[in-house]
A and B are shown apart, each in its own frame.
Chain A
């Protein structure tokens, strides 16, 4: 393996790691607050990508008809922001409809409604938009840089950089703001903390909103890197991000980031050293081994028998 190849794999792994980490953050935050897994999250990622697509197309058509001439980088930023806002509304809606009525029900029931919301999102997308794949407009000109025999594109750097900035922003939000403090308190004890005057429903909505916004960013970045959108794109990546979230330790934000990047590196480097068809087999065997020896992930706490049955 030459240096350039290694650098390519490394960058690819970072890129996939960012996707997984951004989605896994949504899983982990919801888990931390509400003790349930939002199985619709992979499909919120898909919805985010589609919302981004439509926002981008709308902005581009405004731009080309000449009402306001927007440069492409501005279109990209506006797409990102608007898609984050719309997708967070979708996430809040999902919470309101599918999770809030089930807050006192067994956790597994909520998992089933989550799965069903996911299927609902996929199928309604398929119904309304048809089975043809959509192509994401190229908002960012692809340029190739070369430093010391290592080539890389600006898109990959942008994806990794933007993801890292957002993760840092989330970290600061959770650590430094009052809302973040309320969220951490809720993680600590979701029974007593609402009695102290912390609005549980608002915090739950906020959590879903942030998680969905991050998923939307992941969706848009994903469709810039691989510009083909289809209704089932969130299915596998969602489950894999779920694995990443648990691998880091449930409910832990640094854990989700670490798990996401670890999964990205595992998948890319297994495919690099062996054949790519063996990717899932070896990557998940390693994860199985890690969980056998480190049963609570990297940052997770031992399983307390806090069952809500």
Chain B
């Protein structure tokens, strides 16, 4: 299958038009693309709504009009009987295509092309160690402009951020350490509940916890600290999984994590103070886009550096052969505990963010299906790859949004798609491969030699 893909790509590159197009795209540094996107989103802010009305859309399409694609698929699946629906959804879909082209694609491309010399000059002036920070800042700017257009976008973007955190942190245990943990739902629940309870007890007038203990004005400042406390509580509970992992691994450990998820869910359901099975609400909705973005980036940076550090190498050694790692002076117990605790910490933080995005949590949210969803995102993206985890999480969430108009059929289509991906790419989309951040540096020229094989 792989050879077919590369053959298609090579023939596309060898054709003159393909080479010219790809060459002109690849010669543009990432920074220019980001600036182009920034410009496109400013344009959308200015004229988006009127253009949307002009091409016959009810309003600005939420996520690049992807849901119209889903509606079109849904109408097509219904067959001949719903042909009026097919035509109306086809019109909407064509409208979003025009909209995307006029608002996003063409302005982004033009701006990106135009800004190349400027960007290269600018990037050569500043020290290379600031590149990542600079890219992140511009990326955040673009994201902010895009998502504050519409509440739905804002929600989806924050959910994607949380999904990335969950997937990357699960990758540490399932990918780099080679275990099969299904406990991420449980860790998330601990983080979500601990941080919610502290926030509500501290800063909100509540029926159960009474008046706020601390002045509510402090809430935004205390929020990150509370999230960290939630994460730490989550890693404390992870000891219940980490200590049995000294003596066993693989499937037995999978059961331990599964039992852990059941225990956490059942324990929460039995605590009447925090609502039991009815759930817990009144959390201040503090997790805005900036916080989710910052935490996601922090999580990525920490885990990226972790897996590239000596600890990360030791973790991989434990995965490949525990006895050999032990012989090579790796303290396997220590490595296991650290990996589990780090992973659980970030799951807990993600849970805390989730609670403060939605403003309501109940134990059923964090059941075994949550763990299964994170596992699906992880294996879709591929093990042992941070970028793979990002790709998996974003793709899965976007897929979920595209197929939302299909309602129930969505959960028939997603499994079929994932099974197909797994059959043709058993390692996931990017298993054991990484896009390194070296590509942030400005490119001088891009050469394309025709493939020799």
Contact = CB atoms under 8 A, between A and B. Distances in A.
A281 B252 contact: no
Given A105-B427, A106-B426, A108-B180, A277 B262 contact: no
B241 to A, nearest CB: 9
A4 B252 CA distance: 37
A246 B263 CA distance: 17
A102 interface: yes
A297 B428 CA distance: 31
Given A108-B383, A111-B180, A115-B372, A288 B415 contact: no
Given A279-B266, A295-B248, A297-B252, A101 B259 contact: no
A242 B255 contact: yes
B419 A291 contact: no
Given A102-B422, A108-B379, A303-B248, A292 B259 contact: no
B331 interface: no
A120 B416 contact: yes
Contacts of A309: 178
A307 B251 CA distance: 11
Interface in B253-272: 254-256, 258-260, 262-263, 265-267, 269-270
Interface string A274-309: 000111110011011001100111001001010101
Q: Interface centre among B252, B260, B321, B368, by most A CB within 10 Å? A: B252
Interface residues of B, number: 49
Nearest to A275: B270
Contact of A119 (B265, B267, B415): B415
B365 interface: no
Contact of B427 (A97, A109, A126): A109
A287 B259 contact: yes
Contacts of B323: 305
A288 B249 CA distance: 14
A239 B182 CA distance: 11
Interface in B322-373: 322-323, 368, 372
Given A112-B418, A305-B321, A305-B323, A295 B247 contact: yes
Interface string B404-439: 000011011011101100110011100000000000
B240 interface: yes
Given A123-B408, A243-B259, A287-B259, A280 B266 contact: yes
A31 to B, nearest CB: 8
A209 interface: no
A interface bracket (residues with beta carbon within 8 Å of B) = 35 or more
Interface string A70-111: 000000000000000000000000000110011011101111
Contacts of A115: 372, 375-376
B283 interface: no
Given A280-B265, A305-B323, A101 B423 contact: yes
A192 B379 CA distance: 30
B250 interface: yes
B182 to A, nearest CB: 9
B77 to A, nearest CB: 11
B450 interface: no
A14 interface: no
A250 interface: yes
Contacts of A278: 266, 270
A258 B422 CA distance: 34
B82 interface: no
B176 to A, nearest CB: 12
Nearest to A104: B426
B380 to A, nearest CB: 8
B82 to A, nearest CB: 16
A103 B144 CA distance: 45
A280 B263 contact: yes
A127 interface: yes
A127 B409 contact: yes
A109 B428 contact: yes
A127 B252 contact: no
A172 interface: no
Contacts of A239: 258, 368
A113 interface: yes
Interface string A46-85: 0000000000000000000000000000000000000000
B167 interface: no
Given A242-B258, A295-B248, A112 B422 contact: yes
A119 B178 contact: no
A288 B415 CA distance: 31
Interface string A172-189: 000000000000000000
B385 to A, nearest CB: 13
Contacts of B267: 281
B265 A116 contact: no
B377 to A, nearest CB: 10
Nearest to A121: B415
B174 interface: yes
Interface of B: 174, 178, 180, 240, 243-244, 247-252, 254-256, 258-260, 262-263, 265-267, 269-270, 321-323, 368, 372, 375-376, 379-380, 383, 408-409, 411-412, 414-416, 418-419, 422-423, 426-428
Given A291-B259, A305-B322, 10 more contacts: A111-B375, A113-B422, A113-B423, A116-B415, A284-B259, A284-B262, A285-B259, A288-B240, A288-B259, A291-B248
- Which 10 pairs across A and B sit closest by C-beta, in order of nearness? A105-B426, A295-B248, A280-B266, A116-B415, A281-B266, A123-B411, A120-B415, A246-B255, A284-B259, A295-B247
16 contacts: A106-B426, A108-B174, A112-B375, A112-B422, A116-B419, A117-B419, A119-B411, A119-B414, A123-B412, A243-B255, A246-B254, A250-B252, A277-B270, A284-B266, A287-B259, A305-B321
